[in-house]
Amino acid sequence: MTEGVAHLRALAAEPRPTGSEAAARARRYCASVLKTKGYTVMERPFEYSALAGLYGTPLGGLFALLAIGGGAMAGARANPEISLLVLIGGALVLLGAGRWLARRGVLVLPLMRRRGVNLEATRGDGTPTLWLVAHVDSKSQPVPLVARAAGIVVLACAWIASIVMAAIQLLASRPVEWRWIVIAGVIGALPVLTSTVGKRSAGAVDNASGVATVLRVAELLPLKTAIGVLISDAEELGLAGARVWCGERQPASAINVDGVDDAGLLTLMWTRPREGARRLENVVRVAANADAAALRLIRLIPGVLVDAVAFADAGWQVVTISRGDLGTLRRIHTARDNASMLEGEGVEIVARVLVRATTSLTERA
C-alpha cells in the first residue's frame, strides 16, 4: 500500500461532518503527517452561519418554483405585464440574495452560528506564494450531486423560458401554453428541494481523496520548497472555512484538490475571473503531459461549489483539479461514497502531477 492510499483509507474511515469528533480526528491525522515532514502546523478556529449551507439550496429552489408558478399564473390570466414583473423581479431578488448570502451571509448572519477549524501548514521562509488546498469535511444528501446540478440547470431553463413566454404573450397579444413550463419547473425543483444536509457519507471521493492527495504532495516535495497547505473546514456548509481564511490574507495562488476518483479524466477547472488562473493552468498542463496524464480544461460545472469559488471571489489566482466521470458525480454526497469504492490510483496520479507543477511554480516565484 502506498502512502497516498494509506492516507485515503485513514481519512475515509468514517463521515466527517463539520464540528464532529471525526472531523477533529481527521485534522489530527493531517497535522501528524505534515509535522513529520517539517511543516509548521496551526489550527485556525473560526465562526460562521450554517444557514446558507444547510438550507440555502432548498430555499432557493422553493423561491424559484414559486416565481415560475406565480409568473405562469399571471400569464394564464392574461396579465403578461405582471408575469414579467414577477419573473424578472424574482430573478433579480434571488441572484442578489444568493450572492450576498454566499459571500457575506455565511460569515456575518447571527442565525445558526457554528464553529469550524481550518488546519494551516507552512514550510520555508516567508509567506508562501502558493497554497495547496483541500477540504476535510463531508456531508450526505438524499440526491447525488449530479441530480442537484441537473435540477438547477432545468430550473434555470424553465425560468428563462417563462420570461420568453411572457414577453411573447405581451408583444403578440395572444395566449401561450404555460403548462409545460410549470411541469419543467417542478421537475427541476424536486432534486433541489431535497438537497438537505445529512451525515451518512464517508466522503471518500469528496473529499478524503483530495486531502490524501495534498498530504502526498506535501510529503514528496523537496525540503527546500516553500509551500503552504490549507486543510479547510465547512466547505460543505457554504465554503465557510475558505471564505474566512481568504478574508484574512493577501491574495496569492492556490491549487484546490477536490474529488479524485480512480476512473475518469484528470480535470482542471477554472472559476471566474479566468485570467488570473491562466498561469496555473499552463503549468499544470505541462506537468500532466510530462506524466503522460490526459488532462481536460473546463469551467466549473454550474451548481457545484468548491473552495476555489471563495478564493476567486477574494482575488486569488486559483484552479481546482479533480479526477472522475459521471459515475463519480452519482456517488458524491451519497452513502456509496466510501473507501470500498476507491483503490487510490487517482490519488497517486494527481499527486505526481502536482509535485511537478508545484515544484515548477515555486521555483519561478
Rg (CA), the chain: 22
CA neighbor of 262 nearest in space, from 348, 345, 352, 202 = 345
Helices (H), ranges, the chain: 3-11, 21-36, 51-76, 80-100, 106-108, 145-172, 179-193, 210-220, 240-247, 278-290, 307-313, 326-331, 345-364
Confidence of residue 152 (pLDDT cuts 50, 70, 90): very high
**What's the Cα-to-Cα distance from 69 to each of 180, 200, 302, rounded to whole Å?**
11, 34, 23
CA neighbor of 233 nearest in space, from 18, 13, 54 = 18
**Threshold 0.75, pTM exceeds:** yes
**Top-confidence residue, 285 or 363:** 285
Residue 125 has what pLDDT?
A: 80
Q: Mean pLDDT check: name the lowest of 138-152, 238-252, 272-286, 323-337.
A: 272-286
For 301, which DSSP code?
P
Preceding omega of 110 cis (within 30 degrees of 0)? no
Contact 357, 287 (CB under 8 A): yes
Contacts of residue 59, defined as CB under 8 A and 6 or more positions apart, other chains included, come to none
Mean pLDDT of 303-317: 91
Contact 118, 246 (CB under 8 A): no
In sequence order, the β-bridge partners of residue 319 are 255, 270
Confidence of residue 93 (pLDDT cuts 50, 70, 90): very high
Preceding omega of 289 cis (within 30 degrees of 0)? no
Contacts of residue 2, defined as CB under 8 A and 6 or more positions apart, other chains included, come to 344, 348
Query: Over 90: is that where the pLDDT of 309 sits?
Result: yes
Residue 94 has what pLDDT?
A: 95
Confidence of residue 279 (pLDDT cuts 50, 70, 90): confident
pLDDT in tens, 17-72: 999 999 999 999 999 999 999 999 999 999 999 999 999 999 999 999 999 999 99
**What's the Cα-to-Cα distance from 53 to each of 123, 141, 268, rounded to whole Å?**
32, 12, 25
Cα–Cα distance for residue pair 331/334, rounded to 1 Å:
6
Residue 303 has what pLDDT?
A: 64
**What's the Cα-to-Cα distance from 3 to each of 256, 259, 345, rounded to whole Å?**
20, 18, 11
